[in-house]
Chains A and B, each alone.
Chain A
Amino acid sequence: MSSAIAVHGLTKSYRGRRVLDGLTFEVPEAAITLYLGPNGAGKTTTFRLLAGLETPDAGEIHILEKPWSPRVRRFLGVTLEEPRFYPWLTGRENVEIAFRYRGAENPAKAALRALERVGLANAAHRRFRDYSLGMRQRLYLAAQLFPGVRLLLLDEPTNGLDVEGREEVWSTLQALTCQGVSLFVSTHQVLEAERFAEYLVVLHGGRVAYQGPYRDLAKRRRFVLRVDDAAEALATLRAAGYEALLGRRPGELYIENAVGQADRLRARLAEAGVQVLDQRFEDLEELYWRIKDGLERAA
């Protein structure tokens, strides 16, 4: 597997406070990689180091198999915090100016194509100040889709978007991977990202807590039951030899290694007079909590 990003031993401190502590991970090419971690874990710092806005205290960064140098910016699109555009210029003009700064060939045409890719073709000639929050986010993304872009670092790209807007952004990102673009995306919207994630990097305490394909992590998902009597259900399942424990929410139970056993579990519980209200597998957010809790216990 070739890497879009390879980071080794990345360390960064601010005024004696260590934010990243020997961070090491890889991001595969042409895939959506989610970068998860609590607030203040160092996600934005990582992005800033990858973009070259700051220099690390120690460690190495390789972008598209090459050691970091300002030259990688020719292939690297980055969104950070909120977009800043000229409010009185149209969406097309703003993107065109950004593309011209990048030395893109035929920037006017490329800008229109980028706006099409993010679903803003119809709003290309409206002024930025008249754009909604969701349109601004998508325009920010469009400004990174300059000709030749191969890697996108996106910090919370769906922040402030409504359900429809978020779906559009994720679909756009997925389409980009089909065109060979690699995406490294930090987000708090873990559940909506789950459907699109191919690879995960989980950050905790300035270190990588987990990294790997999402499907590998998904295999570790536990079966979740919501019942009317959790204590009785827990006793029943444990007596039957299941590895079960109480969940984070009232009435919920987590059961390990229960794939394909839903009917049997329900029958057991029915015999014990416990009613099953809902059943599902753990979602990515719960898996994330599990990784985080495990690390904190270990610490």
Chain B
Amino acid sequence: MNALVRAAWVKVRADLAEQLRYPVQFVFGWFTTGAVLWGLGLAAARTSGTEAGVGALATYVAMGAVSLFYLIPRLLAGGKDHPPEEAMLYPHPLARMVAVLASVNAAQIAVGLVGVYFLAALTVTRHAPALGVVLGGMALALLGAAGAGFLLFALKLVFRKVDGLAVLVQLGFFAAAFTPGLRPDWIAAVPVAGAVRWLREPAISPLPVLLFGLLWVFAGILAVARAERAVVARGVAGYE
């Protein structure tokens, strides 16, 4: 496991070095992300009837989670619609590799977006947001999104092309999180939306969201392992 984490860390470091090669793009890329998300957050707050700061935070959190969901099926440098066979040749179960790489990428996303959110909040509101709430919301959202991402990874392994489904699910996450008045009890089970609801109503216990998030992750990892076995048994040429 340590070897996997270190390998993922080397890649993160190299990615960062590559981004820093183009400092103007790096700075203004994040600046634009921060501004756009803050604006979207204000709009979402107005339509859903929540406080502006919470709306902005919810947008950052949802965007981070959806980014992770989008990223997971693309983690292992395989061909666009081809199983990541280079990774399957390493002496680790594919599910473990995906889980470790997703965790490292989730941390990367969280650090970037939380940092930008703090800067944006300090600039706009002159107040530092509560770190526990920001980190908690981000962690809960990333957890559920990771689970859903693993499921998508498993589907992609078996069915090759799943982009249409991925787009639909992303839209579904946003809809469930930001549709005004949509706050049923089971929303805690919906990735991203459960975390956003907790941000809006922090008095509610985050435990159900956490448990459902872990359940999604467990189901996703199981699905990846099952899909890997199915793909190996079937063979690439068995899917024309």
Show the binding face of A for B, using Cβ within 8 Å. 12, 14-15, 19, 45, 48, 51-55, 70-71, 73-74, 76, 78, 80, 84-86, 88-90, 93, 96-97, 100-103
Residues of B within 8 A of A101 (CB): 3-4, 7, 87, 90, 92, 97
Pairwise interchain contact B235-A86, C-beta atoms closer than 8 A: no
Minimal beta-carbon separation of B20 from chain A (angstroms): 12
B90 — nearest CB in chain A belongs to which residue?
A101
Please provide the chain B residues from 76 to 97 with a CB less than 8 Å away from any CB of chain A in the complex: 77-79, 85-92, 97
Majority SS of interface residues in chain A?
Answer: mixed
Q: Give me 29 A-to-B residue pairs in the complex whose CB atoms sit less than 8 angstroms apart, sorted by A's number.
A: A14-B237, A14-B238, A15-B238, A15-B240, A48-B235, A52-B88, A52-B232, A53-B89, A53-B232, A53-B235, A54-B233, A54-B235, A55-B232, A55-B235, A71-B91, A80-B85, A84-B79, A84-B86, A86-B11, A88-B14, A88-B15, A88-B18, A89-B14, A96-B10, A97-B7, A100-B3, A100-B4, A101-B90, A103-B3
When chains A and B are docked, how far (Å) is the Cα of A88 from the Cα of B7?
A: 16
When chains A and B are docked, how far (Å) is the Cα of A53 from the Cα of B79?
A: 15
Pairwise interchain contact A97-B10, C-beta atoms closer than 8 A: yes
Instruction: List 12 additional A-B contacts (Cβ < 8 Å) besides A80-B85, A102-B91.
Output: A45-B237, A48-B236, A53-B89, A55-B233, A73-B91, A76-B89, A84-B79, A88-B15, A89-B11, A89-B18, A101-B7, A101-B87
Majority SS of interface residues in chain B?
Answer: helix
When chains A and B are docked, how far (Å) is the Cα of A286 from the Cα of B17?
A: 53
User: What total of chain B residues lie within 8 Å of the partner, measured CB to CB?
Assistant: 29
* A-B interface contact total, Cβ < 8 Å: 76
> Cβ of B226 < 8 Å from any Cβ of A?
no
Residues of A within 8 A of B87 (CB): 101
> Cβ of B160 < 8 Å from any Cβ of A?
no
Pairwise interchain contact B235-A100, C-beta atoms closer than 8 A: no
Residues of A within 8 A of B78 (CB): 84
Chain B CB within 10 Å — which of A70, A86, A103 has the most? A103
B21 — nearest CB in chain A belongs to which residue?
A88
Residues of A within 8 A of B11 (CB): 86, 89, 97
Please provide the chain B residues from 1 to 60 with a CB less than 8 Å away from any CB of chain A in the complex: 3-4, 6-7, 10-11, 14-15, 18
Chain B CB within 10 Å — which of A19, A53, A100 has the most? A100
Pairwise interchain contact A78-B89, C-beta atoms closer than 8 A: yes
When chains A and B are docked, how far (Å) is the Cα of A144 from the Cα of B11?
A: 18
Residue from the list B10, B90, B97, B233 in contact with A93, Cβ < 8 A: B10
Pairwise interchain contact A102-B3, C-beta atoms closer than 8 A: yes
Pairwise interchain contact A74-B232, C-beta atoms closer than 8 A: no
Residue from the list A54, A74, A96 in contact with B91, Cβ < 8 A: A74
B1 — nearest CB in chain A belongs to which residue?
A103
